[in-house]
């Protein structure tokens, strides 16, 4: 269904929104003739004189304390916190709790979960009618292969890295301990200058994001009654690419990750306890071939269409707002960059342009992450394996639900005679979406506009994150992140974050200033 410009403004109540439709990426949404006329330049949102004066003072504080702020990044990044190997987890959690105490949070609590500890903290600015934001953080990082790094991954050394005069290289630099410490630097600067923040903040931190956030829901559930009184989730974060451009995502797909296993023991055929000599294949069934048959029954011959009954029932097409965002996105979308970055020559159905974007964002998946059985080492070892296993992930799009996936897989296997094949779910969470019309999104967009950046806006990403715990009931909070600054090589060798930028990319001081701008802009943004 299409809508007119007037209907859209009535629906969203954003006729006076500072960044305007042109800045929001919604140009081209409307079907009436008036909407096709060139849009007038949007008037930038104007902060109160008091806020502007405060911001200038905070800017100076950030500049004067740059070296101290760098040291704080180094301090945090030098503390290992590898969740996959449980290295330094408790100590890092205590360090982050200490940072919240440094902000004079009235509440700081370690939250017990069935896994790594979480952290809850609350900062009350003491201003009647002030907005309340929720802030997410993860303190865990990926494992490292130290010998592959140019400098030790937990030394947090300052080095020159072209095209930047100075970067900080460390595991977690951009994903996301370093970038988060920059946000805390910005908050500390505001408090140092003004005595208080312009908003209340509920801090929610976890130490298992790199494991798929299996217990983050336990943290949220303990404080749900408090959290649902907030106005929005705001996660300032460096988002600039190498060329200074910004990509902004308004959500993400969900995911279900599981294993399938076929064993001779459960099947009652083939080797039942151990691998046996391969000559027996002449007389003995193979669990490996059985698993392959089960897998092949789940998709079309080319592997691109899922043949599991009811799998597509809840898949929703792009919404009207999504279509508008896609129409803007495709104008700057470069498929060749995707090909080069992913070493892919041809996409499914030779898709290009908006068709490729829709396929990527709005198609559910059934992906084989890994499959193994028997001997895979060098040389030969002639055996008939007694079991075979594979790992599978399903990416969920609106309106799929994670709870539905495993029952659909189970029903398909049973229907096709594979009742013996085991399913072990390893992780899963739901998709998340926030409208571009939300005040928290518009406030972030306004700060980009102030910095002469018009971000490329994605309706959501093709990846997954646990933000559904905020955006879906019972909290139902709009969620947004953004800010100046750059870092890269997350999960990879020589991960870094920029300290001294160049003419396109902000350094640490400019990034922290953008976080200050975002906070004050949202604090004063009209929500009705």
The verdict on 71 and 107 lying in the same domain is yes
Is pLDDT of 411 > 60?
yes
CB 51 within 8 A of CB 516: no
Closest CA to 286 of 298, 278, 297: 278
Q: 283: which residues sit within 8 A by CB, 6+ positions away? A: none
The verdict on 499 and 367 lying in the same domain is no
109 falls within a domain: yes
Average pLDDT over residues 97-117: 98
Q: CA torsion sign, 120 to 125 to 128 to 129?
A: negative
CATH, residue 456: 3.40.630.10
The verdict on 217 and 203 lying in the same domain is yes
223 falls within a domain: yes
306 falls within a domain: yes
Is pLDDT of 56 > 70?
yes
The residue out of 413, 429, 445 marking a domain boundary is 429
% of residues, the chain, pLDDT over 70:
91
Per-residue pLDDT tens digits for 442-491: 999 999 999 999 999 999 999 888 999 999 999 999 999 999 999 999 99
For residue 34, the model assigns a pLDDT of: 30
CB 171 within 8 A of CB 92: no
Is pLDDT of 32 > 90?
no
Look up tokens 């933000």; give the residue.
467
Is pLDDT of 72 > 70?
yes
- Least confident range from 17-21, 99-103, 212-216, 457-461: namely 17-21
CB 471 within 8 A of CB 481: no
Q: How far is CA 353 from the centre of its chain?
A: 24
Q: Give the separation between CA 499 and CA 72, rounded to whole angstroms.
A: 13
Average pLDDT over residues 21-50: 46
For residue 465, the model assigns a pLDDT of: 86
Q: How far is CA 210 from CA 138, 250, 258, 370, 524, in A?
A: 9, 21, 16, 19, 35
Is pLDDT of 38 > 50?
no
DSSP assignment string, 75-109: HHHTS--BGGGTBSHHHHHHHHHHHHHHTT-SEEE
- Least confident range from 5-9, 61-65, 191-195, 240-244: namely 5-9
Mean pLDDT for the chain? 91
The verdict on 71 and 193 lying in the same domain is yes
The verdict on 411 and 483 lying in the same domain is no
The verdict on 208 and 135 lying in the same domain is yes
CATH, residue 424: 3.30.70.360
Q: Give the separation between CA 457 and CA 14, rounded to whole angstroms.
A: 18
Average pLDDT over residues 385-413: 97
Is pLDDT of 35 > 60?
no
The verdict on 378 and 501 lying in the same domain is no
Categorize the per-residue pLDDT at 44 as very low, low, confident or very high, splitting at 50, 70 and 90: low
Q: What is the enclosing helix (H) or strand (E) of 289?
A: helix 287-296
The verdict on 385 and 511 lying in the same domain is no
323 falls within a domain: no
Number of compact structural domains in the chain: 3
For residue 23, the model assigns a pLDDT of: 30
286 falls within a domain: yes
The verdict on 267 and 246 lying in the same domain is no
The verdict on 150 and 65 lying in the same domain is yes
114 falls within a domain: yes
The verdict on 25 and 69 lying in the same domain is no
Is pLDDT of 438 > 70?
yes
CB 170 within 8 A of CB 77: yes
Average pLDDT over residues 169-191: 98
Categorize the per-residue pLDDT at 348 as very low, low, confident or very high, splitting at 50, 70 and 90: very high
For residue 347, the model assigns a pLDDT of: 96
Q: Give the separation between CA 459 and CA 482, rounded to whole angstroms.
A: 15
Categorize the per-residue pLDDT at 528 as very low, low, confident or very high, splitting at 50, 70 and 90: low
Is pLDDT of 289 > 70?
yes
Domain span at residue 516?
Answer: 49-250+434-524
143 falls within a domain: yes
355 falls within a domain: no
């Amino acid at each position: 269904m299409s809508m007119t410009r007037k209907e859209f403004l009535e629906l969203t109540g954003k006729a006076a929104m500072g960044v305007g439709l042109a800045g929001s990426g919604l140009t081209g949404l409307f079907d009436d003739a008036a909407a096709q006329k060139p849009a007038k330049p949007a008037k930038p949102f104007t902060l109160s004189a008091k806020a502007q004066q405060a911001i200038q003072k905070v800017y100076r504080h950030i500049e004067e304390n740059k070296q101290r702020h760098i040291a704080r990044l180094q301090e945090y990044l030098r503390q290992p916190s590898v969740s996959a190997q449980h290295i330094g987890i408790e100590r890092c959690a205590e360090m982050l709790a200490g940072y919240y105490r440094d902000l004079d949070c009235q509440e700081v609590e370690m939250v017990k979960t069935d896994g790594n500890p979480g952290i809850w903290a609350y900062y009350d600015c003491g201003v009647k009618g002030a907005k309340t934001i929720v802030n997410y953080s993860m303190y865990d990082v990926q494992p490292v292969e130290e010998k592959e790094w140019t400098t030790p991954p937990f030394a947090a050394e300052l080095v020159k890295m072209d095209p930047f005069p100075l970067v900080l290289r460390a595991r977690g630099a951009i994903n996301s301990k370093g970038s988060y410490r920059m946000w805390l630097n910005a908050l500390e600067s505001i408090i140092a200058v003004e005595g208080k923040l312009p908003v209340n903040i509920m801090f929610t931190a976890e130490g298992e994001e790199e494991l798929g956030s299996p217990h983050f829901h336990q943290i949220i559930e303990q404080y749900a009654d408090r959290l649902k009184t907030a106005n929005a989730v705001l996660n300032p974060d460096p988002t600039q690419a190498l060329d200074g451009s910004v990509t902004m995502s308004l959500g993400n797909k969900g995911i279900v990750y599981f294993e399938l296993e076929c064993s001779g023991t459960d099947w009652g055929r083939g080797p039942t306890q151990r691998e046996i000599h391969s000559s027996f294949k002449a007389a003995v069934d193979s669990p490996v071939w059985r698993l392959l048959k089960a897998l092949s029954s789940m998709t079309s011959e080319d592997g691109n269409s899922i043949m599991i009954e009811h799998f597509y029932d809840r898949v929703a097409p792009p919404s009207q707002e999504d279509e508008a965002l896609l129409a803007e996105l495709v104008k700057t979308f470069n498929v060749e960059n995707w090909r080069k970055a992913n070493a892919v020559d041809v996409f499914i159905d030779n898709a290009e342009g908006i068709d490729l974007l829709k396929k990527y964002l709005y198609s559910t998946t059934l992906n084989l992450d890994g499959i193994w059985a028997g001997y895979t080492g060098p040389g030969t070892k002639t055996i008939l394996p007694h079991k075979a296993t594979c790992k599978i992930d399903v990416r969920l799009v609106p309106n799929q639900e994670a709870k539905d996936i495993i029952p659909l897989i189970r029903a398909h296997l049973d229907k096709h005679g594979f009742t013996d094949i085991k399913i072990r779910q390893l992780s899963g969470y739901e998709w998340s979406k926030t409208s571009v019309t939300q005040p928290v999104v518009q406030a972030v967009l306004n700060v980009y506009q102030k910095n002469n950046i018009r971000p490329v806006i994605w309706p959501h990403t093709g990846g997954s994150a646990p933000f559904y715990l905020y955006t879906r009931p019972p909290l139902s909070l709009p969620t947004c992140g953004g800010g100046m600054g750059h870092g890269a090589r997350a999960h990879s060798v020589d991960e870094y974050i920029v300290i001294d930028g160049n003419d396109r990319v902000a350094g640490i001081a400019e990034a922290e200033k953008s976080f200050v701008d975002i906070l004050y802009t949202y604090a004063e943004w009209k929500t009705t």
